Amino acid sequence: MGSVKFIQGNEACAEGALYAGCRFFGGYPITPSSEIAEILARRLPGVGGRFVQMEDEIASIAATIGASLAGTKAMTATSGPGFSLMQENIGFACLTEIPIVIVNVMRGGPSTGMPTAPGQGDVMQARWGTHGDHPAISLAPMSVREFFEETVRAFNLSERFRTPVTVLTEEIVGHTRERLALPEPGDLELIERVKPTVPPADYRPYDTGFGDVPPMANFGDGYRFHVTGLVHAEDGFPTNEPSVIAAKERRIHDKLGKARDEIDRVDEYLLDDAEVAMVAICSTARAARRAAREAREQGIKAGVFRPVTLWPFPDRQVAALAERVNKIVVAEMNLGQIVHEVRRAVSGKVEVESLTQADGEPIAPGTLCEAFREAAR
């Protein structure tokens, strides 16, 4: 164990990025994520990294993609309006298989909405925000410690699978202060992208002969290769051949689908004997834990199921949950997004109720405890 700090979630995110080996941040200030940029602006130069404040979020993610192509672990951070501006380039990174990390500290919306208030309205955007069929990994930390750990894991998954990874949390987690024991170097596993072993003349950037995740060369290291947002063949150049296009699309999906055991992470709280389960993420899950304890004091067997990996959605685990409980309540700070995924996964095995709130205030434990009581009747 390294030093112990009393820090806010956004600072823990910055510390996690540095621990993971992030050496480039391209960003634009936006509440409630600005502290991540501010801290990395101070810290990155001291470890040989670079911080660039761009003119907007479109340029920010473009610079982040460029830094990753040059071989650097790269990140950007934003909130809802900026996340919207980044979507086209997120799609570009998905198709070109460029590893980057995007942190979205959610706030109330839509549009500029409520800059200083929490919200969870970007859940579906994190999966389907960019157009076309594309893979997606999104992680949803609920505490300061988890914000650190899931940022490290985001870099690992991004490098491992050559794909963008979103860390999706919200204002309460970003601005909560808690004790964090920072791990020493080497305490947490760090994954690096696989480099080519063939000579530059033989290198193909999307060569499936090495598996679903091809080795990735650095720009500037002697490997010349083409990068385009058009659907491309193994050499990186555009193609109109249907069989090649179909294989490319399937592969970038299958490389995540085949690794669900590696990607998925869920958290269960008081579910061993639960009859009513509440599904929630981020700060709502923390309030749900307290509500479950209060409900149990009233004789209600309540528990909480939390997707830590939100995308790909843990449908297998939710389906298994439906076999164990009598009712599921989905609590979220929006007007109903996660509930649709839960209902899809449950497939009618148990009743699924929706509890939503989108007024800029967190859902209080008392409200969630009442939901447990109603569900148990």
Measuring CA to CA, how many Å separate 221 from each of 62, 199, 216?
Answer: 21, 11, 11
Q: 251 with 133: CB under 8 angstroms?
A: no
Question: What are the strands, taking DSSP E only, across 99-189?
Answer: 101-106, 137-139, 165-170, 177-181
Q: State which amino acid sits at residue 242.
A: P
On the question of a common fold for 4-181 and 266-376, the answer reads yes
The Cα 336–Cα 302 span in angstroms is 21
Task: Give the global pTM.
Answer: 0.97
The verdict on whether omega for the bond into residue 110 sits within 30 degrees of 0, i.e. cis, is: yes
The Cα 137–Cα 255 span in angstroms is 12
**Contacts for 198 with CB less than 8 Å, ≥ 6 apart:** none
Tell me which DSSP letter residue 362 carries.
P
The Cα 318–Cα 307 span in angstroms is 9
The Cα 3–Cα 36 span in angstroms is 20
Give the pLDDT means over successive 10-residue stretches in the chain (377 positions). 91 98 98 98 98 98 98 98 98 98 97 96 98 96 98 98 98 98 96 96 94 95 95 97 96 96 98 98 98 98 98 98 98 98 98 98 98 96
Q: State which amino acid sits at residue 243.
A: S
Q: 372 with 302: CB under 8 angstroms?
A: yes
User: Looking only at Cα atoms, what is the longest distance across the chain?
Assistant: 70
pLDDT value at residue 1: 66
**Contacts for 217 with CB less than 8 Å, ≥ 6 apart:** 195, 196, 200, 203, 205, 223, 225
**Cα angle 339-341-344, degrees, rounded to a multiple of 5:** 110
pLDDT value at residue 2: 78
Tell me which DSSP letter residue 298 carries.
T
pLDDT value at residue 370: 98
Superfamily grouping for domain 4-181: Thiamin diphosphate (ThDP)-binding fold, Pyr/PP domains (3.40.50.970)
Tell me which DSSP letter residue 99 carries.
-
The Cα 94–Cα 132 span in angstroms is 10
Paired residues of 77 in beta bridges: 103
Domain 266-376's class? Answer: alpha beta
Where do the structural domains in the chain lie, given as residue ranges?
4-181, 200-260, 266-376
DSSP letters along 149-164, please? Answer: HHHHHHHHHHHHHTS-
The Cα 15–Cα 102 span in angstroms is 15
Q: 167 with 141: CB under 8 angstroms?
A: yes
Tell me which DSSP letter residue 336 carries.
S
